[in-house]
Structure 1
């Protein structure tokens, strides 16, 4: 009984020790084998290398591979571990042979390590001792249980040293041969297979004869075993060794830098098309050389495929390698003053909500709103302009008038909804200047918004464009409706092109909905265009913010935009959305819905919301004397034979400028004496506008300057009597302008014409 108890106790001890050893063995291998920083690698959609950034430890170590190319696999196994597929991590015969050789030579001449053991050694990175060798053997057998042979081989080839600061097959292939590992020849594969064996002693700059001999010996072994055809062998041994390491590709360097900041140490397969990207970069280089003559140093181009929602070209700037001020800025991500590039969004919102119709007349006259006095780019006024034409010509004053009518807070909220993330301050901070460049946006956000407009016409989801394949899309809270987008694009595809030709007359030229923008002080030039296939955004300027007189969107960014579209495949124009529009009779002269007095009308397709807009307020039924020189009231005692007629009449200030550009316009004739007062006030102040706040400039001698007031009257021959604060000043005829020097404070200016009509305005001198 005592013997049985003794044996049972031993068995328990043995069993317990076995469990402990098995448990230790099961968990001896770390979950993550390698703990090294990796290079940031970016490829195009076809996994062609665009560029890379070195790892934080100064090594060119690409992220681990998943597979090993067949040529390098055969070379590596033949050279390092011929029994790789037949052992369990340790080759006893190789260990025994190494022990015998080392004992015979009385020094370490062979390690007997398998590829699995070498993988463990690379992971542990410990000094080579007999104790370390035992640990490597144990871990190697455990690694064989965890991973397949192919996985172990890929781990080894991803972390093997190839001389200098080059680690891993991918980095070595690009640094030594200038192409990917998948494209290695037999000679190149054999060269890389023998390098990890002694990378410190044999590399490109020294030991070249030994390296060449080892390479050719390996190739001969492959030939002898039938793994390498004779013709391939003869070509391989004739290939010379590379001379110097190759620089890595520098395609889309600003995109690579962006991934380096956001996805450091990862292998990133982007949506970029390398061929298109290189063409865009060459185009940007040519234009940059042209702009440099005017000291315009920076440019950015973004191309989005709106059907797939993928960025196909990302040119964040030019001259990446030059260490000049501003060249390292990725302008695609930099907030810049928007200029007029946001105007189509305001036109869209007002169409969508039924605040105007596409061709509604808008005022283009001098305005001053609480000290804000915008000017058109050409410093001229046209009195009244159809909304679509004002957008196509990028007139500032009609846009400000539209925003004043629509409301800054509503438009501010809409811009945030469509993804303009840099508009973060309150609506009151921007005010009406929001539509003229008072806010900043990025080329990324703006081009995305235009792309989403185009995508709405393709009936596809509206999201933020993708730079990485297989990444979730960001759903935008604000979406565009195709009906209003169609009307916006219909207007801005009529924008005059930089080449100043009739593009419609040339069948090969595709329609493009495009818009330019120029910021205050000529600091930013924008151009964004959309076709059914692509959205292209271009920015030109100086990243440092310096203004240049030549920095005008239509003259700099515009020509670049059309050169980009000439590179890209063309597409047929968008199909007009169906089931959205309704027919309506619209006044041909005012663009409003037809009133009962409009004579010339067109039947147009408009959005249903447009049916609630105002009927034409500019056509009136008037009664004229027979010679049409006077208006009269019916039953007037002095009436002569009369005719009734519909008459198109604009407000006095609109009329003042409108008739200068429209000689066909006929002002209403005056009332016949004694036949009553005008139903429409015949005069209006051009300047100052009501409640304007005015600062008088100082003259050269330091004295206070003058304020020039101006008034428009429908009858140019009338006499105007001027009063300031109930004090009579003077009278004018023909040209109703007057220079005043009022004291600081509130003032009231009154004008009375010879017919007794009166108009007043209040202003403040600061």
Structure 2
């Protein structure tokens, strides 16, 4: 009888437990934790080597960069857990042991000595902010249990480090590191670790940019606590406490328009957007464009694009030379413009494929009327009988129009669209207007021209341009294949013709310049001097340059040859050297960007050694005891040495010494370059004593 009662009691207890678990499960499903905020993340555009190009805030202006434990200094994680939640990996979201200890401390001291909130509970509060009271604490505890059932410990910790407030519109440790330290939190010093732990406790009262003294005091309290926890030594804590509070810094903003294009192509839920851009190439081309546009008129802009022919990856893209000029906020690589004569190579290539002509074919360059259309050459002179090669090299108009007539303008336009460069045709009904395609009577973008010239350099095969890694995945998934635009034979013939075209003034023919890239290029000037173009292929790259005004207004006398071609040649110099050094894992010096031929080893005995930095040594820390104090840089090397800090040249004083004056605390990369372009770099940290 008693056994039956025991079994009955056990059955009732089991049913009650099962019912309770079911009720909790149903309640959990009916009232799940609000995780929507976890997916509202600021996006960061990265270059091919994961260097940040540009960060984008949320729509409300907040910076909330997603945290990744693999990219955060482990010392910071250890210190954070020791300070905030030592039993994080052992409790279930609510640490009853910590709550008991906090309650006893409250009764004993009569005030709050330590808190009982776990990181999971704090994460719940960040997801669902409520007024701080006992009822809210109970709700946070319940939400914490729900989070522990749904997420791993790693995911909870990353979520907390993504949402933690750091003052103003800064949320998350990664955002705070960029805002206050100017870099990723992958390597942090003790003072930086302590500051990043202290700020979320009272972010507005301790903002280092607004209340530096309060930030320093809070940091010192954290440092003392970390000493008692044996995370850092007392000596290191004293040293860390002497550093000044950091100031607010700007988030990365390189490749402004190209980064917007990358974000447009990426998923809205993708926190880090990986592009094929090269930050060194991008920034050097941006500097070159700013310098060039300063000599071209107040409202003139430059846009350019660099494409790897083999992969069709976009390595650099300049939407505009300067954002403070008219149209500077627009991405002018994506605006339809008249391409002028830059389409002529493709007209002749199609003629080669159709068997209508060959490079040596004679064609007449004499006045000729095509119904109501009568083209004339740019210089208003005619040369009589010329070869197709000569007609292309000198960009003669009548032969190009005559060849297009034989091919058929509609067919030519369809071929461009089939290749992926869909032309914007003029809204006119008469068929004669179609022949104007030969001279730029159509709208195409810089991107379209880059696609076409990459196809020309890629054996006549046209492929879409790749901006982000997802582009290649999408093309494979959607079954996009390459398009045979031209035959490889026709493409090669055109390339050889363009290589022999007259070079711009001041440039020696590439065949006579040792080590210089041989460029197959074509220029173009639209009607009324509205657009100046230069496009070329060399060393596995296709580069297109456009010069003009964003509003399409004419620039009298500004031709593609005079305005755009020199920029194209400079771009090839920069790209060839930058990408060559990237392959060799070597830095590029600004001294190499002058357009001179690169140094080559003359013979086996010529064993040149790169310069050696004597001061400051690599990975060193320098104390700047007063603002404005400079440091004399020292290096040993051949010939005159030039110094750069973060890519900018450091001037020499009247005594011939290179004196560098850091403007603020932080990490800097110094680079010294010798006369041959060989370089060495040194990374140093500047620390200033608190005043």
Scaled by the length of structure 1, the TM-score of the pair is 0.69
Pair 1:17 & 2:20 matched: yes
Instruction: Please give the residue correspondences for 1:139-288 in structure 2 after superposition, counting only pairs within 5 Å.
Output: 139-228=143-232, 233=237, 235-242=239-246, 244-263=247-266, 266-288=271-293
CA-atom RMSD in angstroms: 2.8
Instruction: Please give the residue correspondences for 1:322-333 in structure 2 after superposition, counting only pairs within 5 Å.
Output: 322=324, 324-333=325-334
Change (3 A) 1:341 1:287: same
| SS in structure 2 of the partner of residue 336 of structure 1 | coil
- Partner residue, 1:46: 49
Q: Distance between the aligned counterparts of 1:144 and 1:370, measured in 2?
A: 79
Pair 1:311 & 2:314 matched: yes
| SS in structure 1 of the partner of residue 398 of structure 2 | helix
- Measured after TM superposition, the shift of residue 370 of structure 1 is 2.1
- Measured after TM superposition, the shift of residue 358 of structure 1 is 1.2
Q: Distance between the aligned counterparts of 2:542 and 2:501, measured in 1?
A: 16
Q: Distance between the aligned counterparts of 1:204 and 1:53, measured in 2?
A: 23
- Partner residue, 2:513: 506
> Per-residue displacement from partner, 1:62-111 (whole Å, max 9, x unpaired)?
24536443132122112211222222211112212333455678887754
Instruction: Please give the residue correspondences for 1:133-532 in structure 2 after superposition, counting only pairs within 5 Å.
Output: 133-228=137-232, 233=237, 235-242=239-246, 244-263=247-266, 266-292=271-297, 295-320=298-323, 322=324, 324-423=325-424, 430-456=433-459, 462-472=462-472, 473=475, 475-498=481-504, 499=506, 501-532=508-539
1:542 to 536, 539, 549: 549
- Measured after TM superposition, the shift of residue 210 of structure 1 is 3.5
Work out whether residues 173 and 184 of structure 1, in 8 Å CA contact, stay in contact via their aligned partners in 2: no
Change (3 A) 1:180 1:6: closer
> Per-residue displacement from partner, 1:461-481 (whole Å, max 9, x unpaired)?
742221112432454544332
Q: Distance between the aligned counterparts of 2:546 and 2:233, measured in 1?
A: 55
Pair 1:118 & 2:122 matched: yes
Work out whether residues 450 and 542 of structure 2, in 8 Å CA contact, stay in contact via their aligned partners in 1: yes
> Per-residue displacement from partner, 1:519-573 (whole Å, max 9, x unpaired)?
000000111111132111100000101101232001111000000111122699x
Work out whether residues 420 and 463 of structure 2, in 8 Å CA contact, stay in contact via their aligned partners in 1: no
- Measured after TM superposition, the shift of residue 6 of structure 1 is 8.4
> Per-residue displacement from partner, 1:705-753 (whole Å, max 9, x unpaired)?
xxxxxxxxxxxxxxxxxxxxxxxxxxxxxxxxxxxxxxxxxxxxxxxxx
Change (3 A) 1:88 1:17: closer
Return 304-313 or 170-179, whichever deviates more: 304-313
- Measured after TM superposition, the shift of residue 233 of structure 1 is 4.6
Q: Distance between the aligned counterparts of 1:14 and 1:410, measured in 2?
A: 77
> Per-residue displacement from partner, 1:568-604 (whole Å, max 9, x unpaired)?
22699xxxxxxxxxxxxxxxxxxxxxxxxxxxxxxxx
Work out whether residues 302 and 332 of structure 1, in 8 Å CA contact, stay in contact via their aligned partners in 2: yes
Work out whether residues 37 and 56 of structure 1, in 8 Å CA contact, stay in contact via their aligned partners in 2: no
- Measured after TM superposition, the shift of residue 281 of structure 1 is 0.5
Could you list the runs of 5+ residues in structure 2 that have no partner in the other structure? Answer: 581-691
Instruction: Please give the residue correspondences for 1:524-673 in structure 2 after superposition, counting only pairs within 5 Å.
Output: 524-569=531-576
> Per-residue displacement from partner, 1:273-303 (whole Å, max 9, x unpaired)?
11111100100011011112xx452000111
Q: Distance between the aligned counterparts of 1:10 and 1:151, measured in 2?
A: 35
Work out whether residues 443 and 537 of structure 1, in 8 Å CA contact, stay in contact via their aligned partners in 2: yes
| SS in structure 2 of the partner of residue 515 of structure 1 | strand
Q: Distance between the aligned counterparts of 1:163 and 1:16, measured in 2?
A: 45
Return 245-254 or 534-543, whichever deviates more: 245-254
| SS in structure 2 of the partner of residue 301 of structure 1 | strand
Return 208-217 or 343-352, whichever deviates more: 208-217
Could you list the runs of 5+ residues in structure 1 that have no partner in the other structure? Answer: 573-766
Q: Distance between the aligned counterparts of 1:390 and 1:283, measured in 2?
A: 32
- Measured after TM superposition, the shift of residue 444 of structure 1 is 0.6
| SS in structure 1 of the partner of residue 469 of structure 2 | coil
Q: Distance between the aligned counterparts of 2:466 and 2:574, measured in 1?
A: 21
Change (3 A) 1:534 1:335: same
| SS in structure 1 of the partner of residue 342 of structure 2 | coil
Q: Distance between the aligned counterparts of 2:55 and 2:286, measured in 1?
A: 18
Return 250-259 or 160-169, whichever deviates more: 250-259
| SS in structure 1 of the partner of residue 560 of structure 2 | coil
| SS in structure 2 of the partner of residue 342 of structure 1 | helix
Work out whether residues 333 and 444 of structure 1, in 8 Å CA contact, stay in contact via their aligned partners in 2: yes
| SS in structure 2 of the partner of residue 71 of structure 1 | helix
- Measured after TM superposition, the shift of residue 235 of structure 1 is 4.9
| SS in structure 1 of the partner of residue 23 of structure 2 | helix
Whichever structure has more helix as a proportion of its residues is 2
- Partner residue, 1:743: none
Q: Whose radius of gyration is greater, 1 or 2? A: 1
- Partner residue, 1:668: none
Work out whether residues 525 and 559 of structure 2, in 8 Å CA contact, stay in contact via their aligned partners in 1: yes
Q: Distance between the aligned counterparts of 1:465 and 1:561, measured in 2?
A: 20
Change (3 A) 1:15 1:247: closer
- Measured after TM superposition, the shift of residue 510 of structure 1 is 2.0
